Amino acid sequence: MIFLPVVFLLYWFVFKQLRWQNLLILVASYVFYGWWDWRFLILIVITSLSSFASGLLIKHYDGNRRAQRAVSAANIVLNLGILATFKYFNFFAGSLQAVLSAMGVMVDWPTLNIILPVGISFYTFQALSYSIDVYARRIEPTRDIVAFFSFISFFPQLVAGPIERATNLLPQMLTARRFDYGRAVDGLRQMLWGFFKKLIIADGCAEVVNQTWNGLDSATGLMLFVCSLLFTFQIYADFSGYSDIAIGCAKLFGIRLTTNFKVPYFSRNVREFWRRWHITLMGWFTQYVYFPLGGSRCSRGRTVLNTIVVFSLSGLWHGADWTFVLWGLYHALLFIPLILLGSKSHKDTVAHGRWLPSFRELTAMVVTFLLVNFGWILFRAPDFASFSEFVSRLFSHSLFNYHGLTMRMATMLLWCAALLLVEWLQREKQHVLQIDGYRVLSLRPVRLALYAALVFLIFYFAGQVQTFIYFQF
């Protein structure tokens, strides 16, 4: 509660020069990140320093592409090696042990008893984007080490994104910033909406979802269907809520972060869904994996293979478990028919300029939502056995059994429906509380009453605060 106001006041009223502002951001970010465990700072310093040095070395070897390629590759191997050690070593060691055991070869691999650093996947990918972009000559390397370290560790988006590419965020760290009252107010509004989604929708749904999964052996099919719906909204409100808070917070400091969500549950097919869900992650994989593999500018068979690779890696990025890999492959399978049929991507917002969608658009949105919803069951499942039990109970005769449904479930479904309604009305805005275009809401007393009402709802209806889901990634 105190951290942000103190940093904000120091940033604009004490440290007015760019160099000192960047230094303040760096110190504040390290305090923010090291609050969980100061030892994690060692890793982010190593990642930052290696990526910064790689940029200078690539510039030093200008004209020698072989040497530049070696420097860039070394930085990639180092940072992915750190990520693999802390996040995936035990997973791959255990998987290999299981395979060898099935073949009759008994081995006893060592495991690492280490804690996964918060947000390591986010800042690692952000750092890698810099050295890759410098090598590809999309950006010039910087010699300002404070600005660069601030770019890697910028605290609003450090632990759960958006994943910022160097081409967007680093130049802002190198450019003088001036306080913009309108942008700051808009940032506060976006933060308010993010807190509403997190504390009311996400945490409320989490309570029901966790209880249902813990009592899986006694749940009816209908209870599980409701549970799947609530988790679908939980993960969206949780992650997009954090993104809204991060983007809004950055606006307070004159920084523009990349939009990470654009009403994904109004998508008309899975291709559009991934254009609207976790936009910065899929943008990263598209730029640095999909395109180098050939993207869609090759045979359809090769395009299918590239898509499978990208979604498999995306699933693995989310967590060191085969359920995440299978979740990624599930979405790849949903993509394949669109590739084979040559379906075009929807780049416009559904029902643009209209109050209601057409019947065809509505049908497409419902089908896409249900397909995505099913995938979230696999994402939430602690293991494949639990997923199998969940699905077998879901598609049983008890799917039509109302026994076990609770008032809390009904209440959360109403909250989710309200969220959908509000986001539908504001689907072409950057965030829901961009209300300047409404004549009634343009009145200052009305706007203040709306903000006060949201604050009241948060304090009155918020339950037990849950950790952000994507902190673990």
Residues annotated as part of the active site: 318
411: left (phi over 0), alpha (psi -120 to 50) or beta: alpha
- Helices of type H across 61-144: 65-87, 89-102, 120-135
Q: Which of 245, 240, 140 is nearest to 191 (CA)?
A: 245
Q: Which two tokens stand for residue 270?
A: 């899975």
Contact between 139 and 170 under an 8 Å Cβ cutoff? The reply is yes
Q: Which two tokens stand for residue 179?
A: 């306080």
Distance CA 362, CA 350 (A): 9
Q: Say which DSSP state 157 is in.
A: G
Distance CA 110, CA 107 (A): 10
Helix axis angle, 145-153 relative to 166-173, nearest 10°? 130
Distance CA 153, CA 32 (A): 10
